A and B are shown apart, each in its own frame.
Chain A
Amino acid sequence: MSSISLKNIVKKFDEVIAVNNINFEIKDGEFVTLLGPSGCGKTTTLKIIAGLLEQTEGEIYFGDKNITNLPSHKRNIGLVFQDYALFPHMNVYKNVSFGLEMKKFNKKEIDKRVKRALEMVDMEGFEERRPGELSGGQQQRIAMARALAFDPELLLFDEPLSNLDAKLRQNIRLELRTLQETTKKTTIYVTHDQQEALEISDRIILMNKGFIEQIGTPEELYDNPQSYFAADFIGSNNFIKGKVIDVTGDTKTIQSYENIFKVKTADKKFNIGSEVIICIRPENLRLLTDNEPKDNVLPAEVAHKIYVGSLVVLQLKVKNISDNYLKMEINPSEAKHLKEGQNVKVYFSTSNLVPAE
């Protein structure tokens, strides 16, 4: 059983609280990402799980076993570092076999497992090379092979792709996920790249300033952010500040300056008088093409029209909404007739509500 749970983990560095009462549980075989901006406590949390940092308070369990006071080298965890940390004075074979040597496997068994680990990351034949002779992507794979070779209970990744160029990142990212699905190892992955997190995770733990903001599947986090931070951090969003002036069933009526908006949400915490922010994803803004009466219509001026290949991004100037532009994404075919400076009408039917901060 390689599930892992953290209970009330706190980490203080002198007066600074880096990790503030973290609680979560990860199921056997799950791929969970700790996501957040720099300084949110995700790497600190990972290091505490690995045993490289000692928590100030709290407990850690692997399955039923309380490993809170177990030293790092006894925890049976694989860790892939941001800078790979391959031992420069050893060749690839010795690097990958290191964990197996520590576990006192015999030579034949080590040979077998090293070969298999290198096969898994597509690096057979590299046994004699030194880390200094490998490219960044190759080093990354060897680091993975080294972490997998001794069959750990848990796999940890500390922003392993941040030193690679964009194209390489995308490719290896998917390989990593496929590898995890094959080996079925419980995995915790740390990154600040929300795109990456959405792509490869079963669940995401969103962190901010030492706290957990929200836990959920990529869909839940994208479609249903629970706070302004979550709505802003994940993907792109447009924000309209307002106040709830009516609640009828699930529909909340919100007033922002002279605009009236109707938002459907089952969330009970918004009542008359609540200060809220409406969050609208760029792909949920639509052009009003016919004259059918619709809710949430805004007159706008096309300030910029930006071609991005598969989409066209429109930056819209709307009166009294905010200082920023509204960002809208549409098909290039729909955008053909639009010109900068043109006046249009846009509307939305899908949106989220979060409390105003």
Chain B
Amino acid sequence: METGLRKTFSYILDTIKYSYVALMILWLIFPLILIIYASFQGTLDVKLIPDKFTLDTYRAITPEYWKSFKLSLVLALFSTIISVGMAAPAAWAFKRGTIPGKRFLSIILMVPNIVPKIILAIALLRLFIPLRLTNTNTGLLIALVGAYGLPLAYGYCEAIVEGIPESYEQAAMVLGANYPTILRKILIPLMGPGILVSTLFVFMRTLMTFLIVLFIAGPGATTISVRLFQDVVERGAQFESIAMTSILIFITILFYIVVNKFFGASALSGNVFDGKKG
């Protein structure tokens, strides 16, 4: 019958659609799955059905690795706090205030978002050498905030502020609220969730960032991403690098789960600015 044929046809179409998507996803996450598998099997020569399970790879992680990991965490934490701490008030000032040339300034602030990281890295190197900021934690922090964290955070914060109609603040003011009260009762509750999500994003990206650190930092101040790179280049994939990489992958997965659970699926794609929600 006509309908029977139609049903079979749409069934086949659906199967093709889902298989296609599944294959795409598999293709994209294949390297990650490979690494995780390898970390629990002790070899890159992974079998699809694992015949042994070991934590030797994780036990092999060296103190230097942990030192780099800690450095990554600390740098990411500080640069995120500084970046978001500066970006949020700046976004509000640029969007609501009467600063001359504010459109120009906010565009300048976001330029590093579009410039390829390698160009930023080289430019920073050029700038830091005479200032003697290369191979220093301070230099790294400045670079991570100025060229990476701040522009990123500002992009999010500006969208968040734009998503809140100015009439909310005006209404509060006419009803008798002074600026501190408006901040406390209107701006923070409405901007809060968006700022939180942005903070998580900025933290994760700063944690994993590679090129800028590669150029600026030296052997003493290597973050985990750079150390992994250097180690693998020198010695190939060893137990410790496989395990550490898996740990980073686990952290990323945790990040996605947290954001999805507490802020919703739309936040995962960067939608931080729905100020109209209750």
Residues facing B in A68-111 (CB within 8 A) are: 71-79, 81, 83, 85, 87-89, 98-99, 102-103
Contact A72–B171 (Cβ < 8 Å): no
Contact B190–A73 (Cβ < 8 Å): no
Contact A88–B277 (Cβ < 8 Å): yes
User: Inside 8 A of B177's CB, which chain A residues have their CB?
Assistant: 73, 98, 102
User: Inside 8 A of B277's CB, which chain A residues have their CB?
Assistant: 88-89, 132
User: Inside 8 A of B167's CB, which chain A residues have their CB?
Assistant: 81, 83, 85
A150 interfacial by beta-carbon distance below 8 Å: yes
Contact B189–A72 (Cβ < 8 Å): no
Contact B278–A150 (Cβ < 8 Å): no
Residues facing A in B151-185 (CB within 8 A) are: 165, 167-168, 170-178, 181
Partner of B170, one of A71, A85, A99, A103: A85
Of A71, A74, A87, chain B has the most CB atoms within 10 Å of the CB of: A87
- A83-B165, A89-B190 are contacts. A132–B174 as well, Cβ < 8 Å? no
A51 interfacial by beta-carbon distance below 8 Å: yes
Contact B181–A102 (Cβ < 8 Å): yes
Q: How far is the CA of A52 from the CA of B190 in the complex (A)?
A: 21
B261 interfacial by beta-carbon distance below 8 Å: no
User: Inside 8 A of A243's CB, which chain B residues have their CB?
Assistant: none
B268 interfacial by beta-carbon distance below 8 Å: no
Q: How far is the CA of A193 from the CA of B275 in the complex (A)?
A: 31
User: How many positions in chain A have a CB within 8 Å of any CB in the partner chain?
Assistant: 27
Q: How far is the CA of A130 from the CA of B165 in the complex (A)?
A: 17
A188 interfacial by beta-carbon distance below 8 Å: no
CB nearest neighbor in B for A143: B171
Contact B190–A78 (Cβ < 8 Å): no
Distance to closest chain A CB from B72 (angstroms): 36
Distance to closest chain B CB from A24 (angstroms): 21
Contact B276–A79 (Cβ < 8 Å): no
B77 interfacial by beta-carbon distance below 8 Å: no
- A85-B167, A88-B276, A88-B278 are contacts. A73–B174 as well, Cβ < 8 Å? yes
CB nearest neighbor in B for A78: B174
Distance to closest chain A CB from B100 (angstroms): 11
A146 interfacial by beta-carbon distance below 8 Å: yes
A50 interfacial by beta-carbon distance below 8 Å: yes
CB nearest neighbor in B for A133: B278
Contact B175–A85 (Cβ < 8 Å): no
Q: How far is the CA of A98 from the CA of B189 in the complex (A)?
A: 15
Q: How far is the CA of A150 from the CA of B177 in the complex (A)?
A: 13
Partner of A85, one of B171, B176, B181: B171
Partner of B175, one of A71, A88, A99: A99
Residues facing B in A21-62 (CB within 8 A) are: 50-52
User: Inside 8 A of A83's CB, which chain B residues have their CB?
Assistant: 165, 167
Q: How far is the CA of A330 from the CA of B168 in the complex (A)?
A: 49
Contact B176–A87 (Cβ < 8 Å): no
Contact A150–B176 (Cβ < 8 Å): yes
Partner of B178, one of A52, A73, A79, A81: A73
Contact A130–B278 (Cβ < 8 Å): yes
Partner of A81, one of B171, B176, B181, B190: B171
Q: How far is the CA of A74 from the CA of B181 in the complex (A)?
A: 14
CB nearest neighbor in A for B186: A87
Contact A132–B278 (Cβ < 8 Å): yes
User: Inside 8 A of A50's CB, which chain B residues have their CB?
Assistant: 174
- A87-B168, A88-B278, A89-B189 are contacts. A146–B175 as well, Cβ < 8 Å? yes
Distance to closest chain B CB from A98 (angstroms): 5
Of A51, A73, A75, chain B has the most CB atoms within 10 Å of the CB of: A73
Distance to closest chain A CB from B135 (angstroms): 47
Contact A52–B170 (Cβ < 8 Å): yes
Q: How far is the CA of A81 from the CA of B172 in the complex (A)?
A: 12
Chain A residues packing against B (C-beta within 8 Å): 50-52, 71-79, 81, 83, 85, 87-89, 98-99, 102-103, 130-132, 146, 150
Chosen A-B contacts, 26 in total, with CB atoms closer than 8 Å, are: A51-B173, A51-B174, A71-B178, A72-B173, A73-B174, A73-B175, A77-B174, A78-B174, A79-B174, A81-B167, A81-B171, A85-B165, A85-B167, A87-B186, A88-B275, A88-B276, A88-B277, A88-B278, A89-B190, A98-B177, A102-B175, A103-B176, A132-B276, A132-B277, A146-B175, A150-B175
The 6 residue pairs across chains A and B that have the minimum distance between CB atoms: A102-B176, A85-B167, A99-B175, A85-B171, A79-B174, A130-B278
